[in-house]
Amino acid sequence: MPLLVMKFGGTSVADLSRIKNAAEKVKREVARGYDVIVIVSAMSGKTNELVGWVEQTSPLYDAREYDAVVASGENVTAGLMALTLQEMDVPARSWQGWQVPINTTSQHAAARFMSIPRDNIDAKFAEGFKVAVVAGFQGLSHEGRVTTLGRGGSDTTAVAFAAAFAAERCDIYTDVDGIYTTDPRISPKARKLDKIAFEEMLELASLGAKVLQTRSVELAMRYKVRLRVLSSFEDTDDNSGTLVCDEDEIMESKVVSGVAYSRDEAKLTLVTVEDRPGVASAIFGPLSEAGVNVDMIVQNISEKDYDEAHPGAVTDMTFSCPVNQVARAKKAMEDARSAGKINYEDLVVDTDVAKISVVGIGMRSHAGVAARMFEALAAENINIKVISTSEIKISVLIDRKYMELAVQALHDAFELEKVA
């Protein structure tokens, strides 16, 4: 029997009528001959309520108890979804993590999958059950305690089940109808993509197109799970949404697939740092320890000696991080300087920047993407402050006030409104 995994997030199961709406989508796939594994999140708001209670009770909480409390939200939805399906004459039952069992590591609140044995659920399919409704986001440690995967973990649960059960596809139902070439709120020309490669989705996800949890895309890529993102709130069919898949499945790939942005970035420059082995680690070690999520890093090499008191080459080191982490980053740098671990003349902070990225696997075989990007920005008189590139992505930092303009200009320049 072909098998599908269908995942419904918190807004898709926010109340009983939405659970019913989701169940109707499941029933349709059952009617088409599929066995279905449904992965559900907690009803929206519930997880926040539970997390709030835990944090109020114990600011430095025992993560094992956090998990025991927080995982209960998904158990409620799983039972309600099973009941809703039964009401529609679809043979269904709910599964909590320990019942499957979903074996994970013991890193509470951030557990990782170890194994998902198929036996128990397969036995129920063999008995005539058509749907297994599994509580997302949770698992079981080898000590027999409830674990959770960290926020957003239900996407990852869905992909892990799709891999374990060799599902034909993993459909992620959410509150958007697919992946767009850019944010439609910024560019009205934004176009929904029919397909996107795993690698592109990873770059887009981490850049702020927060439709799928990054980890779930990584897992899908590793196990070649075909992921589909589609809307819970619309009538959907086989052609709905966006398929996230192996690039081999994408026949005609455009050079650039999308333009992503990240609004609240800050640029920090350490002026005249010594240019010697070990300097980068002396800088980024303390930042990492301080919990600063450093994104772009650019080093300008300088051959000139600084002065007699400071022999040797010097350089400027620029990096970016979320704007709300600037205070932490500054303190980490000042502490490291006071402790004599690094030396710098000045720390220049620019909190008014945004990051714009163009992403596309086609870039690998096409020269000139960077040139076209810079030309488009120049045509709008937008100054580029930092550039960083990867194999399938070019990112720049620009003044925040030009962010929307830059996204629109790049969307036009790469003709993303047109189908490839």
Interacting residues toward a second copy by CB under 8 A: 16, 19, 50, 53-54, 56-58, 61-62, 64-66, 68-69, 72-73, 75-76, 78-80, 82-84, 86-87, 93-94, 96, 98-99, 144-146
CB of 116: closest distance to a second copy in angstroms? 16
CB of 120: closest distance to a second copy in angstroms? 8
CB of 27: closest distance to a second copy in angstroms? 15
Angstrom distance (rounded) from CA 103 to CA 97:
8
Q: Provide the β-strand partners of residue 40.
A: 8, 135
Minimum CB distance to a second copy smaller for 56 or for 239: 56
Buried b (16+ CB within 10 A) or exposed e, 371-395: ebbeebbeeeebeebbebeeebbbb
* Helical segments of 261-420, H only: 279-289, 326-338, 369-379, 403-413
CB of 30: closest distance to a second copy in angstroms? 17
Minimum CB distance to a second copy smaller for 75 or for 388: 75
CB 265 within 8 A of CB 275: no
CB 385 within 8 A of CB 355: no
Minimum CB distance to a second copy smaller for 19 or for 356: 19
Minimum CB distance to a second copy smaller for 33 or for 59: 59
Q: What is the three-class DSSP state of 179?
A: coil
Q: Which of 346, 359, 392 is nearest to 257 (CA)?
A: 359
CB of 84: closest distance to a second copy in angstroms? 5
Minimum CB distance to a second copy smaller for 51 or for 282: 51
Minimum CB distance to a second copy smaller for 53 or for 334: 53
CB of 251: closest distance to a second copy in angstroms? 44
Angstrom distance (rounded) from CA 83 to CA 21:
13
CB of 311: closest distance to a second copy in angstroms? 55
Inter-helix orientation angle 369-379/403-413, to 10°: 130
CA-to-CA separations, 139 to 93, 96, 112, 150, 155, in angstroms, rounded: 18, 8, 9, 11, 14
CB 272 within 8 A of CB 345: yes
Angstrom distance (rounded) from CA 30 to CA 234:
19
Minimum CB distance to a second copy smaller for 43 or for 359: 43
Q: What is the three-class DSSP state of 374?
A: helix
CB of 173: closest distance to a second copy in angstroms? 19
Minimum CB distance to a second copy smaller for 121 or for 279: 121
Give the 3-state DSSP-derived string for 196-258, with helices as H, strands as E and coil as C.
EEHHHHHHHHHCCCCCCCHHHHHHHHHHCCCEEEEECCCCCCCCCCEEEECHHHCCCCCCCCE
Minimum CB distance to a second copy smaller for 140 or for 373: 140
CB of 106: closest distance to a second copy in angstroms? 14
